């Protein structure tokens, strides 16, 4: 029991160190559920950050394969992965709440795309990527909180995922069909690139607004939406005339982001 609690504590420490906004959002979840949500997001961050930790795609593939093996084979034997604190806490969380193991595997598989320089082919493919990598953890957190099935978590996750794409270096992950519609050059600030990024912002905002509408009907679990609460701040910052997608960091101040999370939490949702 002591070892298990230490593993959950390590999940929270990882979250606090590598995604403070997400850690703050999780603080508003009820305390009994919080450690399990930490485990989910610690796994999501580990998979998300694989590319930054490897020098070759093959090494990244091996890291992601370790996670898929842990989720499929190690769970049956109770060996190997249990020595890894994040994996141990994650497997315990999945078992306790009967979470869909195949969706965790899909998240790890989706991040294999990050390892290569292949362009994202379509906006639809990008939205599917966001559903697997960002909306998935929000859905699982919602189940832990006892939320009914709702499109709110899917829409909020896609909005947050698209916003993260927009925060990346200009052109990264911008779908080919969006670039083609605006005759955009991803290697230089241009009217075409700005128009392509504006389309992605509009799409992200549409998903966010739909999440808000759906959230109004939720009877429980709205705290799981809080990771997406800062989406409007980033979109507004990137829509300013002085924003240069090639040079300017689209980062509202930490204080503004914390204030936004606090206000959203008081309303329990977005």
Place of tokens 């909020």: 156
Q: What is the pLDDT of residues 13-40, one digit of tens each?
A: 999 999 999 999 999 999 999 999 999 9
pLDDT over threshold 80, residue 186: no
- pLDDT score at 232: 96
- The string of DSSP letters for the chain reads -HHHHHHHHHHHHHHHHH-HHHHHHHTTS-HHHHHHHHHHHHHHHHHHTHHHH-SSHHHHHHHHHHHHHIIIIIHHHT-SGGGSHHHHHHHHHHHHHT--HHHHHHHHHHGGGGGS-PPP--HHHHHHHHIIIIIHHHHHHHHHTTPPP-HHHHHHHHHHHHHHHHHSSTTTT--HHHHHHTT--TTS--HHHHHHHHHHHHHHHHHHHHHHHHHTT-SS-GGGGGGGTTHHHHHHHHTSTT--TTT------HHHHHHHHHHHHHTT--
- pLDDT score at 46: 97
Domain extents in the chain = 1-116, 119-270
Q: First vs last Cα of the chain: how many Å apart? A: 36
pLDDT over threshold 70, residue 1: no
Mean pLDDT throughout 157-184?
89
- pLDDT score at 243: 85
Least confident piece of the model among 68-72, 99-103, 140-144, 171-175: 171-175
- Going by C-alpha positions, the residue among 269, 193, 186 that lies closest to residue 229 is 269
Q: What is the pLDDT of residues 196-254, one digit of tens each?
A: 999 999 999 999 999 999 999 998 999 999 999 999 999 999 999 888 887 767 789 99
Give the domain 119-270 fold. Answer: Farnesyl Diphosphate Synthase (1.10.600)
What percent of the chain has pLDDT above 70? 94
pLDDT over threshold 70, residue 76: no
pLDDT over threshold 90, residue 270: no
- pLDDT score at 203: 98
Rounded alpha-carbon distances, angstroms, from residue 60 to 5, 113, 167: 29, 10, 22
Interatomic CA distance for residues 109 and 103, integer angstroms: 10
Interatomic CA distance for residues 8 and 87, integer angstroms: 10
Mean pLDDT throughout 100-125?
95
- pLDDT score at 197: 93
- pLDDT score at 248: 67
Mean pLDDT throughout 71-78?
64
Q: Is 117 exposed, middle or buried (0-12, 13-18, 19+ CB in 10 A)?
A: exposed
- pLDDT score at 78: 52
Distance of CA 258 to the CA centre of its chain: 18
- For the chain, what is the mean pLDDT? 92
Q: What is the pLDDT of residues 85-110, one digit of tens each?
A: 999 999 999 999 999 999 999 999 99
Q: What is the pTM of this model?
A: 0.93
Number of CB atoms found within 10 A of residue 247's CB: 8
């Amino acid at each position: 029991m002591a070892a298990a609690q230490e593993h959950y504590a390590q999940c929270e420490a990882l979250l606090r160190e590598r995604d403070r906004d997400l850690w703050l959002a999780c603080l508003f979840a009820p305390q009994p559920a919080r450690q399990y949500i930490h485990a989910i997001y610690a796994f999501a961050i580990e998979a998300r950050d694989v590319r930054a930790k490897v020098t070759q795609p093959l090494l990244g593939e091996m890291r992601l394969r370790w996670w898929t093996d842990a989720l499929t084979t190690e769970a049956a034997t109770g060996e190997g992965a249990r020595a890894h604190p994040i994996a141990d806490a994650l497997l315990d969380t999945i078992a306790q709440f009967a979470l869909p193991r195949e969706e965790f595997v899909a998240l790890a598989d989706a991040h294999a795309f990050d390892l290569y320089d292949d362009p994202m082919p379509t906006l639809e493919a990008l939205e599917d990527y966001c559903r697997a990598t960002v909306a998935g953890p929000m859905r699982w957190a919602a189940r832990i909180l006892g939320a009914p099935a709702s499109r709110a978590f899917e829409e909020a996750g896609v909005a947050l995922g698209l916003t993260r794409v927009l925060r990346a270096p200009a052109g990264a992950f911008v779908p080919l069909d969006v670039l083609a519609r605006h005759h955009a050059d991803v290697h230089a600030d241009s009217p075409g690139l700005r128009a392509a990024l504006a389309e992605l912002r509009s799409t992200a905002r549409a998903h966010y607004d739909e999440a808000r509408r759906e959230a109004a009907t939720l009877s429980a679990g709205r705290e799981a939406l809080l990771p997406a609460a800062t989406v409007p701040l980033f979109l507004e910052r990137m829509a300013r005339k002085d924003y240069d997608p090639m040079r300017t960091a689209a980062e509202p101040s930490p204080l503004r982001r914390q204030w936004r999370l606090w206000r959203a939490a008081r309303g329990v949702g977005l």
